[in-house]
Chains A and B, each alone.
Chain A
Amino acid sequence: MDLTQNPGVAGMRAIKTALFVLCTLPFLGMVMAAFEIAGLSLGANPVEALIHEAGLWGLRLLLLTLAVTPLRRMSGWNWLIRLRRMLGLFAFFYVFVHFLSYAVIDQRLALGPIVEDIIERPFITIGITAFLLLLPLAMTSTNAMMRRLGCRWQQLHRLIYPIAILGVWHFWWQVKEDIREPLIYAAILAFLLGFRLWTRQRRRVAPAVQVRSDSAAGLERAMGELRASPAPRQ
Chain B
Amino acid sequence: MSTAPARDSHVNFAYLDEHTKRMIRRAILKAVCIPGYQVAFGSREMPLPYGWGTGGIQVTAALLGPRDVLKVIDQGSDDTVNAVNIRRFFQRTAGVEVTTRTQRADVIQTRHRIPETPLREGQIIVYQVPVPEPMQRLEPREAETRKLHGLAEYGLMHVKLYEDIARLGHIATTYDYPVLVNDRYVMAPSPIPKFDNPKMHMNPALQIFGAGREKRIYAVPPYTPVESLAFEDHPFSVQKWDHPCALCGATDSFLDEVITDDRGTRMFVCSDSDYCNTRQERRQNEAVPDKENIHADA
Answer yes or no: do A and B interact.
no
B interface residues (Cβ-Cβ under 8 A, vs A): none
A interface residues (Cβ-Cβ under 8 A, vs B): none
